Amino acid sequence: MSLPSFKYSLVEVDRARSAKASLREVRVSPKHSVELARFIKGLRIPEARERLEAVVEKKLPVPFKRYRKKVPHRRGVLKADSGRYPVKAARFLLRLLAQLEANAEFKGLSPERMRITGVVVHRGRKLKRYTPRAFGRATPRFETLTHVEALAVEEAG
């Protein structure tokens, strides 16, 4: 059995001025990751880190725009009415930002001037487990893993 080979779905505009990072098969909710990706896309890396740290501290709610069934209103939601505090997913995205920053520094770019131009979330494989029940039955307990990719481009200035 061979290891999987992952490729980026994000296309770089200029390789010399951009940096990429990815998290593969992490145990975090794909739906929460999608909402967080929308939350930080378009920001500079320090601003995105501040927002994610505020989410971890439950000071700033993440607006839920797509996956919002039965999601209640939150005070302080930006540009939406319903929101949540996906703390676990925010911690993983902070790790992704740290990787993105390190990759930018390795290329000789300034992390403070890097703007996140793309964040993509894909569902990974499913971990299939079963809980035995009475009378010979079983209940499935599946878990979906998540792939997250990020691309940042250095702004001139």
pLDDT digits (tens, 9 = 90+) for 90-146: 999 999 999 999 999 999 999 999 999 999 999 999 999 999 999 999 999 999 999
All structural domains of the chain: 18-154 (3.90.470.10)
At 98, phi and psi to the nearest 5? -65, -40
The pLDDT score that the predictor gives to residue 157 is 67
Cβ neighbors of 36 (< 8 A, separation 6 or more) are 52, 55, 62, 86, 89, 90, 93
Question: Within 13 A of 27's CA, how many CA atoms are on the CB side?
Answer: 3
- Specify whether the CB–CB gap between 146 and 122 falls below 8 A: yes
CA distances from residue 87 to 7, 50, 157 in whole angstroms, order as listed: 27, 14, 34
What pLDDT, in 10s, does the model give residues 26-80? Answer: 999 999 999 999 999 999 999 999 999 999 999 999 999 998 889 889 888 888 8
Look up the pTM and report it.
0.91
